[in-house]
Chains A and B, each alone.
Chain A
């Protein structure tokens, strides 16, 4: 997920197309892309429609538009488990919020040092930092589980959030380093002449100027944390602390195949925050990144 930032970044430059004439071949490409796009999104639309269908219509009627429109799936699904989905959503939001705050603060602190300060072994530590980005998570999962179990952190949000305050998502450090390097140093110099200390420089000059990259970090932290399944699956075993992802999974497990309408209803709800963020910030993301000149 996180690597996709680069993709969004690179695609930010807008092309002037107003002057292009409409030709048959171009029209054909439009038709092809629209049909292809609808095909791509069909499964998602089908799930949306299925979530409003009564259960007897769910698999008998392949059409996208429900014959009978009902909200019962949402009502049934919301309280299908012992704990209501309201709690799961709240849990997910808490984890995501802490993840976002932790990543933005800790990654920007480290990034400022790497991008702006001269210190002994800088290249060495930078190489180590890059190395940790590619590390497969499975190599850490067993000892981390042992560690968190020893600390008594199982069934709390701490295993999912505390590491985020210690810049363990090194990709965002790299992202922010790349961005901060593009900010002109003249501002630093004049601020330093005015008597700004290093922390003030970071807080008052660099952070505001790095806002686009910080927003990118926040957005992708949120999306990744919201979708995270492996972590909550391992660390959260008590239903009252489930995030939406693990709750959905146990929903399928516990109901077998009986009430898929309700499962789809909760599934649709679980996708809304990510989709909303994508739609809301798409412009800000692309424009903010366009000014940064980051090359992926």
Chain B
């Protein structure tokens, strides 16, 4: 290395290049600089999201988990009670178990019915009709408005003792002298109906999915002598399973968290027949100021929703059919 004698011009050139690779070095440096700059830029763009994530999502999640192990009434500091809230929920709180039960009934009744209506109407709409756009809009309107307070008030009133439902029943000779809202069995029914009435959004998804099914499949099935019904079960339904899966997950997650309609139409009554999970959580948290208990309820709800979502994902390999041959 310390050789001072240069034997040839060739050798010298070699050595100069060995010793001084400034061009290559600066290239690496430049690339590093660019990578660094891009990283800085990216994290700057993400800064608002990061702040939101920490302050309004991750922070509250951790706080909520902590509260769930405490007794907390907002006035004095939270007091650690370990698993107390969770134990109380499942062993001492009869109303909680009722809330759990009616919520499950609601989810398992409303979601399949909603999807069935959505699919049924979507199939009819996809027969190559003029005015498809108009039909889609009309059937979508209940989904657009159904979650509002105004519609919930309307619902409460039309199923009341002198509401239009009883009036209509009177016209066809059925006399009903009871309010649908204040009878335990029918109160649940009115809320399920309100949910099913909003089948428009999954229907839109089905309509779009049906358009993607190639006509040739039906043509060749017809040549093979398959009837309309068997075409539906052999072609339409299997090809729609990814969308059924998608709709099922979304609707299930939403149904577990139903709140507005329950609060306004029935307020949980009569006799807790429609005391849905989120409504009871709200009553405990913001009515009785049992913030620790409400937090524990929220975490159990999250676990339930995650379990059902995971179960649906797990079973999907047996009934969801992907055209690209993923299963």
Contacts and interface: CB of A to CB of B under 8 A. Distances in A.
Contacts of B46: 109-110, 113-114, 125
Nearest to B296: A142
Contact of B124 (A10, A32, A229): A32
A230 B285 contact: no
Interface in A119-150: 119-120, 122, 125, 128-129, 132, 134-147, 149
Contact of B129 (A29, A44, A120, A266): A29
Interface stretch (A78-86, A162-170, A183-191, A209-217): A162-170
A270 to B, nearest CB: 5
Contact residues on A (Cβ < 8 Å of other chain), bracket: 35 or more
Contacts of A13: 208, 211
Contacts of B233: none
Contacts of A94: none
A4 B204 contact: yes
Contacts of A142: 60, 63-64, 67, 285, 291, 294-295, 298
A37 B53 CA distance: 42
B285 A227 contact: no
B250 interface: yes
B278 A138 contact: yes
Given A33-B125, A139-B64, A139-B299, A117 B42 contact: yes
Contacts of A46: 154, 158, 164
A141 B285 contact: yes
Interface in B131-177: 131-133, 135-139, 141-145, 147-151, 153-158, 162-164, 167-168, 171
Interface string A26-56: 1001101100110011011011000000000
Q: What secondary structure prevails in chain A residues at the interface with B?
A: helix
B121 A36 contact: yes
Given A59-B163, A140-B56, A112 B45 contact: yes
A252 interface: yes
B221 interface: no
B197 interface: yes
Contacts of B163: 59
Contacts of A110: 45-46, 48-49
B42 A132 contact: no
A137 B56 contact: no
B26 to A, nearest CB: 20
B132 A166 contact: no
B167 A62 contact: yes
Contact of B149 (A4, A128, A229): A229
A278 interface: yes
Contacts of B105: none
B64 A62 contact: no
B150 A248 contact: yes
Nearest to B293: A142
Contacts of A296: 205, 208, 246
Given A40-B197, A142-B291, A198-B41, A26 B127 contact: yes
A117 B38 contact: yes
B113 interface: no
A293 interface: no
Nearest to B145: A271
Given A10-B205, A248-B150, A270-B149, A137 B137 contact: no
Q: Taking each of A1, A110, A129, which has the highest tally of chain B beta carbons within 10 Å of its own beta carbon?
A: A110
Contacts of B52: 106, 163, 166-168
Interface stretch (B4-12, B94-102, B256-264, B319-327): B256-264
Contacts of A147: 55, 59-60
27 contacts: A3-B201, A3-B254, A4-B143, A11-B136, A17-B129, A26-B129, A36-B139, A40-B197, A62-B164, A109-B45, A110-B48, A110-B49, A135-B57, A143-B59, A143-B63, A145-B291, A146-B74, A166-B49, A230-B282, A248-B153, A263-B153, A267-B149, A267-B150, A271-B150, A274-B148, A278-B144, A296-B208
Interface of B: 35, 38-39, 41-43, 45-46, 48-49, 51-53, 55-57, 59-61, 63-64, 67, 74, 121, 124-125, 127-133, 135-139, 141-145, 147-151, 153-158, 162-164, 167-168, 171, 197, 201-205, 207-209, 211, 246, 250, 253-254, 256-257, 259-260, 263-264, 278, 281-282, 285-286, 291, 294-295, 297-299, 301-302, 305, 309
Given A41-B138, A147-B60, 7 more contacts: A10-B208, A15-B128, A46-B164, A113-B41, A119-B42, A141-B298, A229-B260
